[in-house]
Amino acid sequence: MSRVPKKALALAAAVVMLLPMAGAHAADAGTYEHVWSLQTLVSGSVGETRQRVLSSSAEMALEGGVYVGSVTYSDLLGVSTEEGVGSQESQISLALNGTPLEGGVAAGGTFTGTARIDMRDASGLDDAVSDDVRGREGRHVLYSVSGHWGARLDDGLAEGEIIYERAAVSEGDETLAEPAPYFNRASVSNPDALGDAQLFSALVEGIAPTDGGSSGGGDGAGEAGPGGADGDSAESRGPSFFEYVLKGLRGEELELAAPVPEQLATAGRLLYEANPGGATPLPAGSLAIDVHVAGSYLDAKNRAAGLLDDTGPSIAGAGDLGASVAAARAAVPGIPAVPTNEDAGLTWATRGIEALASQADVAGAAELAEELALVRPDAGRTRVLMLRVRALAIEAVGASESYGSVLRGAAAVASGVRDSKLAEGARSDAVLAAADDPRSPVSATDVRSFSREEGLDTSGTASFETTSSSLLPELAMAAAGGDPLAYVSSTGLVRLEPAVWLAYRRQDGAVYWLAEEDGTVALTDGSLRGWAFVTRRAAVVDAERAGRWVAVFALR
């Protein structure tokens, strides 16, 4: 590191200290600040509230290029209105996952967790927030919550926002979605919207100020690589010759050619880095989707090769693969449902253990049976689903014969991939755009340069009953339950609420909906329509670089 005059260091330190105070973030480092919407809405002539924070913690670490964090919080909220005084105790526990953004000066991702709310009667506001009230009988509800988070990073300190987007209560086999705005701050300017974010602040473990290499530190995000102190992002400058050599010496993986949304990148990395017991290790140089190569780029290449269209794969010699898949699934003997008076988790674990008894010669069977024997009663819904899948996989291995063949068709597909060539023109341009290649023409990347399709324009207001529409924005908004489409960008949490979606068609036929005339993002079909599985979703893309996916949303 070069020597810096002491005066400059002192000035820089003062600026760093002032930055957190200048912004809207008021949470102390390592804490989460929760303001209930009731605290805003029940005030003045309506009533009064009092809050007492019992515990609050926020932790975050950067591990292998992925942010992992946790938030735990508990408080008592007393609410006094004309109708009486009530006490609410909350216990919130969240797990955060995310990735670096904008060269490492920001981060964002998704979270899941639980929120337990206990409601009790109280004699007054003092009583409502006292320790005594916690021992009384009351009513409690356990929510499964999820949403997005975003944070700015400054010298290892993450100051972030959390927005709750889903809050579900499970009752038996049914999951009821409750309004997530209850968990967000009241939005005074738009009271019918999702609400405003809650705040947190956490010191990030795993960030060394000097990890930026030539950046000389201070950007607080060593994993970002050459994110320079002058504000250039890694994406625009690119590594130098010596930075490539350093990466090679360290044995680091190749950078992804085109960035993918955080949720896809995290899922791709989890699969790539998994090291399950009994598995053959992946060889060095293995290629992983959404880690080393974007899935959308692979799809664009398949389309350019004439192997894929809007309805799915189209390959000579593959036959009716859909029918083969259906026949195989139909050939499976009926699987008895779990009786209502039995513990579902234990039932699936027992079925798995019984099936493994006849697979003693299969490697890993004994270890798996021991693992299943440790399953306890009252497993959560997610755990029960995992145990069910495990039992189905055990059954597949122990089947007396194959359920059916898709080999010929799958081989025809694979030989088509190997032998086909990319058509020149618009479809190849789309491949370059999907790879975010500098050679991609504006006609394939800038949505506003595409042809207008005014007949496909649609308003930004979705109806919950919009099930008959085939227009992508309406399908996406309906899937979001009427809430704005929310995602994390380098500038923080973004909620898409355009008044109108303007449709454009690219030369290769793909349709994009621009979020208003001056919108910076557009919506396009990001579905994966395979011959065995279909995943329907909408992709938010950069309006000027259409190959850059920013977020994805599942469709029903």
Partner 1 sequence: MRLPLTRRAWTSAGVAAAVLAALLFTGFYFYLRGGGPVPSWVPIRPAIQDPLAPSEPPEQVLRSMRLAGFERAVAGEGAGFAIVRVEVPSVGSPADVEIAWQTGAASLAEAYPDAGRYVVQVFDPSQALVEVRWDGDSARDAVTADDAGALFSSAQFVHLTGEVSE
Residue 364 CB, nearest approach to partner 1 (Å): 3
Stretch that binds partner 1, among 123-131, 293-301, 337-345, 453-461 (CB under 8 A): 293-301
User: Does 235 sit near partner 1 (CB under 8 A)?
Assistant: no
In terms of DSSP H, where are the helices of 119-233?
125-128
Is 53 one of the binding residues for partner 1 (CB under 8 A)? no
CA 17 to chain centre: 32
If the CB atoms of residues 297 and 513 are measured against partner 1, the closer one turns out to be 297
How are beta strands 31-33 and 174-178 bridged, if at all?
unpaired
555 binds partner 1 (CB under 8 A): no
Binding residues for partner 1 restricted to 402-441, rule: CB under 8 A: 402-408, 410-411, 413-415, 417-418, 421-422, 428, 431-432, 434-435, 437
Tell me the site size for partner 1, rule CB under 8 A: 107
CB of 68 to partner 1, least distance (A): 10
Residue closer to partner 1 (CB basis): 432 or 503: 432
**Strand ranges (E), 128-217:** 139-154, 157-171, 174-178, 198-205
Smaller CB distance to partner 1: residue 44 or 438? 438
Window 340 to 379, contacts with partner 1 (CB under 8 A): 356, 359, 362-365, 367-368, 371
Q: Measured from the CB atom, is 176 or 399 closer to partner 1?
A: 399
Place of tokens 């299943």: 372
Choose, by CB under 8 A, the member of 148, 301, 351, 548 that binds partner 1: 301
Q: Which of 29, 41, 42, 257 binds partner 1 (CB under 8 A)?
A: 257
Q: Does 394 bind partner 1 (CB under 8 A)?
A: yes
Q: Which of 86, 144, 149 is closest to 115 using CA atoms?
A: 144
Task: Mark out the alpha helices in 66-207 (DSSP H runs).
Answer: 125-128
Instruction: Specify the residue, 25 or 301, whose C-beta has the smaller distance to partner 1.
Output: 301
Map the footprint of partner 1 across residues 64-123, applying CB under 8 A: 95
Q: Is 237 in the site for partner 1 (CB under 8 A)?
A: no
Query: In the numeric block, which tokens belong to residue 322?
Result: 């859909």
Q: How far is the CB of 533 from partner 1 (least distance, A)?
A: 3
Shortest Cβ distance from residue 50 to partner 1 (Å)?
35
C-alpha dist (Å) from residue 118 to 34, 106, 139, 172: 16, 35, 6, 20
By CB under 8 A, tell whether 546 contacts partner 1.
Answer: no
Task: Dig out the tokens for 243 from the structure.
Answer: 């930075």
From 55, 358, 382, 520, residue interacting with partner 1 (rule: CB under 8 A): 382
Contacts with 508 (C-beta within 8 Å, 6 or more apart), sequence order: 303, 426, 427, 429, 430, 444
List Cβ neighbours of 254 (8 Å cut-off, separation of 6 or more).
292
Among positions 435-474, residues that touch partner 1 (CB under 8 A) are 435, 437
138, 148 Cβ separation under 8 angstroms? no
Instruction: Give the total residue count for the chain.
Output: 556
Closest CB 199 distance from partner 1, rounded Å: 25
Residue 10 or 254: which CB sits closer to partner 1?
Answer: 254
To partner 1, the closest distance from the beta carbon of 319 in angstroms equals 10
| Structure tokens, 442 | 């504006």
User: What is the footprint of partner 1 within residues 162-191 (CB under 8 A)?
Assistant: none
Contact segment (CB under 8 A) with partner 1 among 129-137, 151-159, 300-308, 510-518 equals 300-308
Q: What is the CA radius of gyration of the chain?
A: 27
β-bridge pairing 47-63 and 198-205: parallel
Q: Is 268 a residue that touches partner 1 (CB under 8 A)?
A: yes
Residue 314 φ/ψ, nearest 5 degrees: -140, 95
Q: Among the candidate windows 22-30, 72-80, 270-278, 458-466, which touches partner 1 by CB under 8 A?
A: 270-278
Q: Cα(119)–Cα(381) distance, rounded to whole angstroms? A: 24
Half-sphere exposure of 8 (CA within 13 A, CB side): 4
Check residue 298 for interaction with partner 1 (CB under 8 A): yes
Is the CB of 247 or the CB of 505 nearer to partner 1? 247
HSE of 480, CA atoms in CB hemisphere, 13 A:
27
Residue with tokens 């050679």: 439
Q: How far is the CB of 335 from partner 1 (least distance, A)?
A: 8
DSSP codes of every residue in 385-439: HHHHHHHHHHHHHH-SS-S---HHHHHHHHHHHHH--PPSSHHHHHHHHHTT-TT
Give yes or no for residue 532 binding partner 1 (CB under 8 A).
yes
Q: Among residues 276, 336, 339, 377, which is the contact residue for partner 1, using CB under 8 A?
A: 276
From candidates 28, 126, 205, 252, binder to partner 1 by CB under 8 A: 252
Cβ atoms within 10 A of the Cβ of 322, count? 16
Residue of 53, 54, 193, 267 interacting with partner 1 (CB under 8 A): 267
Q: Looking at beta carbons only, is 131 or 361 nearer to partner 1?
A: 361
